[in-house]
Amino acid sequence: MSTSSLQAVNVDTDATATNGVESDEDQVKTSDILSLDSIRSTLIRQEETIIFALIERAQYRHNQAVYKKSENLGNPPGSVVPEGLEDEPSSFLEYFLIGTEALHYAVRRFTSPEENAFFPDRLPQEKVMEELEYPNLLSSVGGAIDVNFNEILMKKYIEVVVPSIAVHGDDEQHGSTVLCDVAVLQAISKRVHYGKFVAESKYLADPEGYQRLVDAGDSDGVMELLTNSAVEAKVLRRARLKAATYGREPLLADMPALKTSKEYDSSIVAAAAAAAVVGAIEAMGTDDDGKHDKISPSMVESVYRDIIIPLTKDIEVAYLFRRCGKEPPPQFAPDRMSTDEP
């Protein structure tokens, strides 16, 4: 379980070893993986994963019971219990997520630098698969590579995201609910922690500039230097458009009757694409009664605007401070967002 860019390194290496022939196309350089264009391409591909996961979660009601602490759940299979936490209560979501992470760890999920566990202290000690060797894409200076903001992500997801996308109430589908919750949390976690790769790429492009700001304790200056407002605006628009497109049923009435000839294949695809675009554009312009939407496009946009983008930037700032040998300021601690009220 690794990023597509990291997979490319491993797959190409295996192919070379098997065939004994190397070509320029087989070689992937670390500088290419860390280029901002390559990182942005990866982040764009992750948008579908996040949006589809949100759509899946939105089909169930809030089901607040799965987020409440309980003392009767026990220890999830495969996980370990840190000393002193034997009787620590947990919610059904936490129980399910701890068990999921323990299982995934056994097959080396969290050995990849792009993966960050929500409960790293609950992971087992042994794996059933040998570890892979990854290129050194992130810096270990100051513990930068270990920056982990999943604590605040979990809090924001439960308190902000779920109430915004799920209908109030309880439908008793608690198992399906937490299954979807885990998919959303892991997808968003992967996305926001990709900020470490973004930060490393930007640091390498201007190490003196970032070092000077960090030495001065100027977190606002660091934030300003790494912010690209034009790119953020495109991300928000694209997220809303994708949510409007994927979150609606296709308009079958606008499609031609199905026939078996190949000529009609292309016309069906073209009509379906056109209908999807029209519906998406309509949804982009206004929020109607939402009767055709599986999820509100504006809500997906707000998740990106209020949670994903600012949390990614907080991770970038924390990484850059550690990368430059300093502790991040208190507002960039992993248990809060810098946009929160003091």
What's 143's DSSP letter? G
Q: Which of the following is catalytic: 312, 313, 323, 336?
A: 312
- Note if 18 is an active site residue: no
| 191 included as an active-site residue | yes
* The residue type at 62: H
Phi and psi, residue 203, nearest 5°: -65, -45
Q: Among residues 190, 202, 242, 336, which one is catalytic?
A: 202
Tell me how far apart the alpha carbons of residues 6 and 1 are, in angstroms, rounded to a whole number.
10
- φ and ψ at 293, to 5 degrees? -100, 135
Catalytic residue among 190, 191, 196, 240: 191
Q: Which candidate in 116, 248, 316, 336 is catalytic? A: 316
Q: Is 336 a catalytic residue?
A: no
Judging by beta carbons within 10 Å of its beta carbon (0-12, 13-18, 19+), is residue 292 exposed, middle or buried? middle
Q: Considering only CA atoms, which of 248, 254, 253, 252 is closest in space to residue 292?
A: 248
Specify whether 202 is catalytic.
Answer: yes
Catalytic residue among 10, 40, 151, 305: 40
Give the CB-side neighbour count of residue 106, counting CA atoms within 13 A. 11
Number of neighbours of residue 73 by Cβ within 10 angstroms: 15
Catalytic position from the list 232, 238, 305, 326: 232
The catalytic position among 228, 259, 282, 327 is: 228
Residue 327 known to be catalytic: no
Catalytic residue numbers read: 40, 191, 202, 228, 232, 312, 316
